[in-house]
């Protein structure tokens, strides 16, 4: 069945990205809550049907580590894309001061299995692996979203500059600066996976903008500097080695998904009893407390200025 706007009741805004807004919606006929992403495009209407057709293969991308796709439609030059609502949101906002190793292992395991499924069963390279595209729910499930399924959609996005938080592999940054997008391979996603793991461990992006004079200096550090590592006090040698296997500057030297799934870090993690439901609940509480703290601080600053 096809979804259209008249069936949807709009609820809260869940977040905003570079290309659009994500809202929680209720699909009235089925009473299912969904997340609806609005993407504004710059193109002529003839291409819209092509995009909807390309997105249709998402119906086949059903796996426990992939966010369910419900359907897409367009109104004027916007594509509306409906997917499974993940009630704990994206992992970037659940990081706190860093995710403990057993939980990081579980999240990583889901990410690797999801990426392997996309590659082996769908012949899809994700192309946008980063913490905002790793979603969590209160059942403790971890799923990937926003993978590059439609070439036409990608070409129609209002092209913004490389953001100040790049998860792109060195070869991709180099290729982009030479206007060469052919350098992308599956191992570029493995780099982004490693970088995302470090961010989840630190609680912040591994190349903090404050330490670089400008975006150019930051990108130079990614391309030419020594790859970042997990902090050694809080993470085991296995965990650190796993990340090193992802963050190799030479793409051919990075581990494959098969190798990563057999790595001692994930093998040991599978034998552990990890309370994901409990972790999600406490991470949500911490997020709410920090949001409130931030709001109070802003209010105080505003009052002081008056």
Q: Select from ligand ATP, Mg ion, none the partner in contact with residue 135, using the beta carbon and a kind-dependent cut-off of 5 to 8 Å.
A: ligand ATP
Q: Is 67 among the residues that bind ligand ATP (CB under 6 A)?
A: yes
Residue 93 annotated in ligand binding: no
Instruction: Work out whether the CA dihedral 113, 89, 149, 189 comes out positive or negative.
Output: negative
Answer for the pair 7, 22: CB distance below 8 angstroms, yes or no: no
Nearest to 140 by CA among 261, 27, 275, 20: 275
Q: Is 196 among the residues that bind Mg ion (CB under 5 A)?
A: no
Residues 226, 232, 235, 236, Cα dihedral to 10° = 100
Q: Select from Mg ion, ligand ATP, none the partner in contact with residue 85, using the beta carbon and a kind-dependent cut-off of 5 to 8 Å.
A: ligand ATP
Nearest residue relative to Mg ion (C-beta): 146
Q: Which residues pair with 66 in a beta bridge?
A: 144
CA distance 50 to 268: 45
128 noted as active-site residue:
yes
Number of residues forming the site for ligand ATP (CB under 6 A): 22
Long-range contacts of 66-74 (CB under 8 A, 24+ apart): 66/114, 66/117, 66/118, 66/143, 66/144, 66/145, 67/135, 67/143, 67/144, 67/145, 70/3, 70/27, 70/32, 70/34, 71/1, 71/2, 71/3, 72/3, 73/2, 73/3, 73/4, 73/5, 74/48
Q: Is 64 among the residues that bind ligand ATP (CB under 6 A)?
A: no
CA distance 256 to 220: 26
Greatest alpha-carbon pair distance for the chain in Å reads: 60
Answer for the pair 266, 112: CB distance below 8 angstroms, yes or no: yes
Active-site entry in 128, 189, 234, 273: 128
Q: Judged by CB, which is closer to ligand ATP: 86, or 260?
A: 86
Q: Is 153 among the residues that bind ligand ATP (CB under 6 A)?
A: no
- Cβ 276 to ligand ATP, closest distance in Å? 17
Q: Is 86 among the residues that bind ligand ATP (CB under 6 A)?
A: yes
Q: Is 166 among the residues that bind Mg ion (CB under 5 A)?
A: no
4-12, 126-134, 235-243, 248-256 -> range binding Mg ion (CB under 5 A): 126-134
Q: Is 18 among the residues that bind ligand ATP (CB under 6 A)?
A: yes
Q: Is 10 among the residues that bind ligand ATP (CB under 6 A)?
A: no
- Cβ 173 to Mg ion, closest distance in Å? 20
- Cβ 33 to ligand ATP, closest distance in Å? 9
Q: Select from ligand ATP, Mg ion, none the partner in contact with residue 209, using the beta carbon and a kind-dependent cut-off of 5 to 8 Å.
A: none
Q: Is 94 among the residues that bind ligand ATP (CB under 6 A)?
A: no
- Helices and strands counted in the chain (H then E): 10, 8
Cβ-count burial of 77 within 10 angstroms (0-12 exposed, 13-18 middle, 19+ buried)? middle
Q: Which residues pair with 40 in a beta bridge?
A: 78
Q: Select from ligand ATP, Mg ion, none the partner in contact with residue 18, using the beta carbon and a kind-dependent cut-off of 5 to 8 Å.
A: ligand ATP
| Among the listed residues 84, 146, 171, 189, the single contact to Mg ion using CB under 5 A | 146
Q: Judged by CB, which is closer to ligand ATP: 144, or 197?
A: 144
Q: Tokens for 164? A: 């100040």
Known binding residues for ATP: 37
Interface residues with ligand ATP (CB under 6 A)?
14-20, 22, 35, 37, 67, 83-86, 89-90, 132-133, 135, 145-146
Interface residues with Mg ion (CB under 5 A)?
133, 146
Q: Which residues are catalytically annotated?
A: 128
């Amino acid at each position: 069945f096809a979804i259209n706007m008249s069936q949807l009741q709009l609820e809260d805004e869940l977040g905003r990205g570079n290309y659009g807004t994500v809202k929680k919606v209720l699909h009235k006929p089925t009473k299912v809550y969904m997340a609806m992403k609005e993407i504004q495009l710059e193109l002529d209407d003839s291409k819209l049907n092509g995009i909807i057709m390309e997105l249709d293969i998402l119906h086949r991308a059903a796996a426990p580590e992939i966010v369910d796709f419900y359907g897409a439609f367009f109104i004027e030059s916007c594509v509306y894309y409906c997917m499974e609502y993940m009630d704990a949101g994206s992992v970037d906002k659940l990081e706190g001061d860093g995710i403990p190793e057993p939980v990081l292992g579980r999240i990583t395991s889901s990410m690797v299995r999801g990426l392997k499924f996309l590659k082996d069963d769908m012949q899809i390279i994700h192309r946008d692996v980063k913490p905002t595209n790793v979603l969590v729910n209160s059942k403790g499930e971890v799923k990937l979203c926003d993978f590059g399924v439609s070439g036409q959609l990608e070409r129609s996005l209002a092209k913004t500059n490389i953001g100040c938080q790049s998860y792109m592999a060195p070869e991709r940054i180099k290729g982009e600066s030479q206007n060469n997008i052919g350098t992308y391979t599956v191992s570029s996603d493995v780099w982004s996976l490693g970088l995302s793991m470090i961010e989840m461990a630190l609680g912040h992006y591994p190349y903090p903008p404050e330490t670089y004079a400008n975006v150019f200096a930051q990108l130079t550090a990614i391309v030419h500097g020594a790859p970042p590592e997990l902090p050694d006090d809080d993470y085991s040698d296995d965990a650190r080695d796993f990340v090193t296997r992802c963050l190799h500057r030479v793409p051919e030297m990075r581990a494959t998904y098969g190798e990563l799934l057999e790595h001692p870090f994930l093998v040991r993690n599978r034998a552990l009893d990890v309370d994901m439901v409990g972790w999600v609940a406490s991470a949500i509480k911490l997020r709410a407390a920090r949001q409130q703290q931030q709001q109070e601080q802003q209010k105080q600053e505003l009052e002081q200025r008056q």
